[in-house]
């Protein structure tokens, strides 16, 4: 039995454009982000999608609700806090220049309360284990966050190009079959290409 998951990064926000690290900060989509979500919804109408999940943060939740309304069989949007972005600790809301000004060039080596990669992966795997136990064999849409998605994919499918930053509303497709994961599509934004 194969479970198909399209995991999507949310649309753009004002903080994305300003280069501010969002983390757990609850930042809304901007107008361009809503437009990206509408285009993504049109792309995904071919489905079939059985379930739609989202992070509880509004930039992901709003992207997911726009997509869920567009697909052929509209779905109840389910939220799960385990899909939230990696926590940024003291660096949330700051730009790279501000981090260097405040903590110096080696700020990445300091303990600034940033959520650890093992903790991010643990909650992502916990979510997926529960999802597979309840919905194996389904086609599932998940809207989440770039840092979270990349860390999770680096764990599940190390050979996938997870070092590449995800674009807003990019679709990455994972398949789970015979107790293993594969990645058949990474960072696809064909819906944004005119």
Query: Binding site: what residues are annotated?
Result: 9-16, 59
Chain Cα centroid distance, residue 2 = 21
Annotated active-site residue in 24, 73, 85, 184: 85
Q: Is 98 a catalytic residue?
A: no
Annotated active-site residue in 10, 145, 162, 176: 10
Sequence ranges of the binding site for substrate: 9-16, 59
Dist CA 54 CA 32 (whole Å)? 19
Using alpha carbons, select from 79, 87, 48 the residue that is nearest to residue 61: 79
Q: Is 10 a catalytic residue?
A: yes
Task: Give all strands (DSSP E) within the chain, no chain letters.
Answer: 3-9, 51-54, 77-79, 139-144, 171-177, 180-188
Helix (H) or strand (E) holding 128: helix 117-135
- CB count, 10 Å around CB of 127? 18
Dist CA 65 CA 184 (whole Å)? 25
The residues annotated with a catalytic role in the active site are: 10, 85
């Amino acid at each position: 039995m194969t479970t198909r998951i399209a995991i999507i990064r949310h649309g753009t926000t004002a903080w994305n454009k300003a280069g501010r690290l969002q983390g757990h900060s609850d930042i809304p989509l901007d107008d361009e982000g809503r437009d990206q979500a509408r285009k993504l919804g049109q792309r995904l109408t071919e489905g079939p999608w059985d379930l739609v999940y989202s992070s509880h943060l509004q930039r992901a939740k709003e992207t997911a609700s726009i997509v869920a309304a567009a697909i052929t069989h509209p779905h109840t949007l389910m939220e799960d806090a385990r899909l939230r972005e990696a926590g940024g600790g003291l660096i949330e809301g700051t730009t790279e220049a501000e981090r260097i000004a405040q903590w110096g060039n080696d700020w990445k080596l300091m303990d600034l309360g940033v959520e650890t990669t093992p903790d991010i992966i643990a909650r992502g795997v916990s979510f997926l284990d529960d999802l597979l136990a309840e919905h194996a064999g389904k086609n599932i849409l998940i809207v989440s966050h770039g840092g979270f998605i990349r860390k999770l994919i680096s764990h599940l499918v190390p050979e996938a190009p997870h070092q590449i930053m995800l674009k807003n509303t990019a679709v990455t497709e994972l398949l789970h079959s015979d107790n293993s994961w594969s990645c058949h599509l990474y960072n696809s934004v064909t819906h944004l290409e005119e």
